[in-house]
Homo-oligomer: A and B are copies of this chain.
Amino acid sequence: MNEGSLDIAEVARRSGLAPSALRFYEKKGLIVSAGRNGLRRTYHPDVLERLELITCARDAGFSVAEIGRFLVARSGDPDLRVRMAARACALDEQIGRLTRLRDSLRHAAICDHESIVECPDFKQAIGNEPAAGLVRSSHRDRLC
């Protein structure tokens, strides 16, 4: 067997993913196997890097299908570039939400209101506007 290639079990071990997940990703076109040793898939070491990317994107809420589309992206595909830029903007918004949520959560862990959802600081960090009664639904910020 080729010196540089990795057994599926080895890739699983080093990536922290189950072999079944690797086969699943391969079937979906997110990774490719370098060849076989008998029946066994072997992978180029670069696959580890790609798996890291995949895991990261999955954690970020990307679907497997979407990751697949991005992974085959070529510079000559303007549609895809547009989608990527849009996705980046969506990520910005999500990062904002997560940051506020984190701050609220961190506050909740130390605040002394009986019920944490009652805490005004908590609410304030989460919501953009408390819907106390005379709230017009705020127009979505179209910053992107």
Residues of A participating in the B interface, judged by any CB pair closer than 8 Å: 14, 45-46, 48-50, 52-53, 56-57, 59-61, 70-76, 81-82, 84-85, 87-88, 91-92, 94-95, 97-102, 105-106, 108-117, 123, 126-128, 130-131, 133, 137
Contact between chains at B109 and A60 (CB < 8 Å): no
Does A101 contact B57, Cβ atoms closer than 8 Å? Answer: yes
* Count of chain copies: 2
A113 to B76, CA, bound (A): 9
User: Could you tell me the distance between the alpha carbons of A113 and B123 in the complex, rounded to whole angstroms?
Assistant: 45
Question: Chain A interface mostly helix, strand, loop or mixed?
Answer: helix
Is there an interface contact between B109 and A84, defined as CB atoms closer than 8 Å?
A: yes
Q: Is the CB of B84 within 8 A of A91?
A: no
